[in-house]
Chain A
Amino acid sequence: MSRIGVFVCWCGENIARTVDVDQVAEACGEMPGVRCAQNYKYMCADPGQAMIREKIASERLDAVVVASCSPHMHLKTFRRAAAAAGLNPYRLEMANIREQCSWVHHDKDRATEKAIGIVRTAVAKVRYNHALSPIRVPMTRRAMVIGGGVAGIQAALDIADAGYEVVLVEREPSIGGKMAGLSETFPTLDCSQCILTPRMVEAGQHPRIKLYTYSELESVSGFVGNFEATIRKKTRYVDMAKCTGCGECQKICPLKRNPSEFDFGMGMRPAIFMPFPQAVPARPVIDKKVCAKIVRNGCGLCEKKCAPGAINFKDQDELATERVGAIVVATGYKLYSIGREQPSAKTTGYGEYGYGKYKDVIDSLQFERLISASGPTNGELKRPSDGKIPQSVVFIACVGSRDNAKGLPYCSKICCMYTAKHTMLYKHKVHSGEAHVFYMDIRAGGKGYDEFVRRAIEKDGAKYYRGRVSKITEENGKLIVRGADTLAGVPVTVETDLVVLASAMRPADGVERLAQKLNIGCDEFGFLMESHPKLRPVETNTAGVYVCGACQAPKDIPESVAQASAAASKVMISFSASELTREPEIARIDEQTCAACFACERTCPYHAIERVELRARNGDLIKRAARVNQGLCMGCGTCVSVCPSKSADSEGFTEEEVYAMVEALA
């Protein structure tokens, strides 16, 4: 017979007001297997916990039920108390008589009756609870960061500085991401490259950071603490070891007029190129789509010119394998396509703005390049069509953001701020110029942010119109912007030289495929899902995989960096021990009765089912069976519900336990 102790909590008035706790304790005392039943005002407080510990010892209890709040609230507290008294913590159950009873009922008699019923099921269950021990999984103390923008660099440096090795994977030829191309940053107007490039160099030279640029994640297998990542190193045609980064190849390449990806088409680059002079690593790549040697076996000048002989036209994609214990995803964002190509049938685009039709209608990242000192015009603002310095610029906020009819419903968060910054930078470059801004609302929450916008309006004289633009047309070299000023209640027409569209942020291309490879979720817009929006903001639902930066939601540089450090610290916490401890309440499969149908394998959302072969001592195959990978299983119980031979069961919620609960209610 069991020796169960039941402890009924008043939760101050929270439970005791609606539930007669004396009556509950009295009723519990008579339940089969219950050795003692007590009630107390605050069971979670020290005297309450002491009472539990004392009773476990004095009554030699072998199981405990605490009737109080939700297990989300205090299960850990009470299990710790039980463990301190020498009881296996998994032999303690909670009966939730607060959220599921006292808080939702008024009639005291009936609520008391219900509370007794709830405790009775817990008492019935706890008799069958197995004594479990935490699962230990070996931890490979080495991390992989996917994406080498500011978030990825920050996460990689933090983890590396803590003493662990990091593999940093970036699909572009250089790390640096979007931030490397920005001009100056809000709200301090410090130069983006000046603050980022030292960090890039640091990451490039760090003894514990292994850089894979121009590389993409091919596949991942394994589980937390034990991932094996396959990385595709794309064909660069340049031997990284031999190349010195002298740049002679770029000078001699005759095919100089290819739109630069780094300049978002505002500048040109040769067929062999480094995306920008401060690139890390400072090694060029060859664009195989345009290179004359590769396309039609012509030219080859760079190969002849290269003194160290680093050009290799026979180069092929290579696959590399890395073992890591944790993965940080920091793949960032791209801008919503304003032209006719739409990401989904739901977005119809903004044909009225003439992006793609008028050369002087550009997006905000293109404008960043035009005003950046490292940009194609060396920081002199010249408009794309004729190279004239624009005497007036119209900035349109919320293009694609907050627009259920034509764009995306969410706010892209950073556009209000960078648009204010754009007006300032423009006015600082063209003192006599006019900056006009059409906006919906100004969202400038953040340290020094609203002051910054006020400065753009009040000191630098940007003209703000609260209203949308209905049409942009071009006449005689001028762009005619027609919109509304809803505060003045009048239509506005502005003749201008350049229009900058602050288009919405979307997750980078290919993020959905990456999410599938890592078995993490993304929302309807493709932003990666965090495990809990408030309390687990950088974890994902797959153990050992973390997210940070704009791949999770639109965010600015300070937030991305903060989140990157948060993700890094989570990785470091998991690296703090050589073994990983996991809750043992996961599935197990009885290999004796398993019929090897693998229905569980097909339904398991965490890919936690492995196929094993059971062999006799002489090596003969006895049977095949399914086995649960203890590192991957999250204890959801899907396999239990599909197993036709009833060989799968979840610890903590075994069939035996659940049926006992049901019977107790009958």
Chain B
Amino acid sequence: MNFGYYPGCALHGSSDDYEQSIRACLGALGIKLEEIDDWICCGATAAHSLNHKLAIALPARNLALAQRQGCAEMLAPCPMCSGQLLRAGQALASDAALRSEISSIVEAEVNDGPRVLNIIQVFERVGLKALSDAVTKPLKDLKPACYYGCLLVRPPAVVGFDDAEQPQSMEAVVAALGAKPVDWNYKTECCGAGMTMASPETVLELSGKILANAAAHGANCLVAACPMCHVNLDMKQAAIQEYSGARYDLPVYYLTDVVGMALGLSASELGADRHFVLAREA
């Protein structure tokens, strides 16, 4: 099974542990990732809050590159990136005038771009049964709180994935690994995201609530799929504990970490040993 791969800025920078985890985990499943040659920034929050055209043009160029590379399905692990790519693809598909204008701006023809997938959808392509069969170390002691954050399932009209209010797809993946996901309330709440620079207290407050609710529902770790969320919940956890006075010590895994561990990979192979709240060997 092959997928195109659009890492986005985060996975080549602050969250390169996520990339390590993805490559190790999917490699163990025999999945080959073909990184899009010469990919550029998706535009992220900066573009779409300032310049609508730029917010279409940046992802459009990436879609054109992926198309040129001949990939039919492309993994974009960061939900911000996948959302922007999907949004641009839909805008171009529904507006011929815009498509020709953007094509001239990015100097590449964008037609049927690749199908953009998030990491959960990749595991769904593998198949939960096949995934479960590949497990060598069932994670029976793991009680994760699966955390989707804002963007993985929203906006529903753009991502068209799972139930935006009561998503269950990540729980299905971790359950296939033998883990026992907890039922909790904050799986689609905001972690504070980019406010981590402008207003750190906001993040301490919001991410603090997420950790508190996960702990209150008996979770012994969190599983996330978004690099931004991971930063706020993992790197900031010490600051959150200091700010709120509560102690959680909840490891925050990427979804690929827990899949990788169940497949028998070690924390260091997955890069999980580089998290701030130390990962426990399953």
Q: Which residues of chain A have a CB within 8 Å of any CB of chain B?
A: 340, 348-352, 354, 357, 471, 473-475, 480
Contacts and interface: CB of A to CB of B under 8 A. Distances in A.
Interface centre among A351, A352, A354, A475 (most CB of B within 10 A): A351
Contacts of A349: 163
B163 A474 contact: no
B40 to A, nearest CB: 33
B166 A354 contact: yes
Interface string B173-216: 00000000000011000000000000000000000000001001
Given A473-B185, A474-B185, A475-B185, A351 B165 contact: yes
Given A348-B156, A354-B166, A471-B165, 19 more contacts: A340-B163, A340-B166, A348-B163, A349-B163, A350-B165, A351-B163, A351-B164, A351-B165, A351-B166, A352-B165, A352-B166, A471-B185, A473-B185, A473-B186, A474-B185, A475-B185, A475-B213, A475-B216, A480-B185
Nearest to A339: B166
Interface in B122-166: 156, 163-166
Contacts of B185: 471, 473-475, 480
Contacts of B216: 475
A340 B164 CA distance: 12
Contacts of A350: 165
B82 to A, nearest CB: 20
Nearest to B186: A473
Q: How large is the interface on B (under 10, 10 to 19, 20 to 34, 35 or more residues)?
A: under 10
State the majority secondary structure of interface residues on B: loop
Contacts of A474: 185
Contacts of A351: 163-166
A350 B165 CA distance: 7
A480 B185 CA distance: 10
A187 B28 CA distance: 68
Contacts of A354: 166
A480 B164 CA distance: 19
A508 B166 CA distance: 27
A354 B185 CA distance: 10
Nearest to B189: A471
A170 B246 CA distance: 61
7 contacts: A348-B156, A348-B163, A348-B164, A354-B166, A471-B165, A473-B186, A475-B185
A354 B216 CA distance: 19
Interface centre among B163, B186, B213 (most CB of A within 10 A): B163
A495 to B, nearest CB: 13
Interface in B206-238: 213, 216
A352 B164 CA distance: 8
Contacts of A473: 185-186
Nearest to B217: A475
A471 B166 CA distance: 10
A474 B216 CA distance: 11
A474 B183 CA distance: 10
A473 B184 CA distance: 8
Contacts of B213: 475
Contacts of B166: 340, 351-352, 354, 357
Nearest to A356: B166
The list of the 10 closest CB pairs from A to B, nearest first, reads: A351-B165, A473-B185, A351-B166, A352-B165, A351-B163, A348-B156, A475-B185, A474-B185, A350-B165, A475-B216
A354 B186 CA distance: 13
A472 to B, nearest CB: 9
A34 B163 CA distance: 74
B161 to A, nearest CB: 12
Nearest to B167: A351
Interface centre among B156, B185, B213 (most CB of A within 10 A): B185
Contacts of B186: 473
Nearest to B216: A475
B264 to A, nearest CB: 35
A354 B163 CA distance: 12
A349 B165 CA distance: 9
Contacts of B163: 340, 348-349, 351
A350 B166 CA distance: 9
A418 B151 CA distance: 37
A348 B164 CA distance: 9
A471 B189 CA distance: 10
Nearest to A405: B157
Contacts of B165: 350-352, 471
Contacts of A357: 166
A348 B163 CA distance: 8
A265 B186 CA distance: 29
Contacts of A348: 156, 163-164
Contacts of B164: 348, 351
Contacts of A471: 165, 185
A471 B164 CA distance: 12
A471 B213 CA distance: 15
A197 to B, nearest CB: 41
Contacts of A352: 165-166
Nearest to A350: B165
Nearest to A480: B185
A85 B216 CA distance: 92
A538 B185 CA distance: 48
A292 to B, nearest CB: 35
Interface centre among B164, B166, B185, B216 (most CB of A within 10 A): B166
B100 to A, nearest CB: 31
A474 B184 CA distance: 9
B98 to A, nearest CB: 24
A474 B156 CA distance: 24
Contacts of B156: 348
B156 to A, nearest CB: 7
A26 to B, nearest CB: 58
A350 B156 CA distance: 13
B49 to A, nearest CB: 22
Nearest to B162: A351
A93 B202 CA distance: 79
Nearest to A476: B216
Nearest to B185: A473
A64 to B, nearest CB: 58
A486 to B, nearest CB: 20
Nearest to A354: B166
A120 B157 CA distance: 58
Nearest to A474: B185
Nearest to B163: A351
A661 B164 CA distance: 62
A574 B186 CA distance: 62
A644 to B, nearest CB: 43
A279 to B, nearest CB: 38
A474 B185 CA distance: 7
A404 to B, nearest CB: 12
B182 to A, nearest CB: 13
A348 B216 CA distance: 30
B46 to A, nearest CB: 26
A349 B162 CA distance: 12
A471 B216 CA distance: 18
A345 B156 CA distance: 13
A91 to B, nearest CB: 58
A350 B186 CA distance: 16
A353 to B, nearest CB: 8
A115 B163 CA distance: 63
A340 B166 CA distance: 10
B168 to A, nearest CB: 10
Contacts of A475: 185, 213, 216
Contacts of A340: 163, 166
A193 B185 CA distance: 40
B135 to A, nearest CB: 28
A475 B156 CA distance: 27
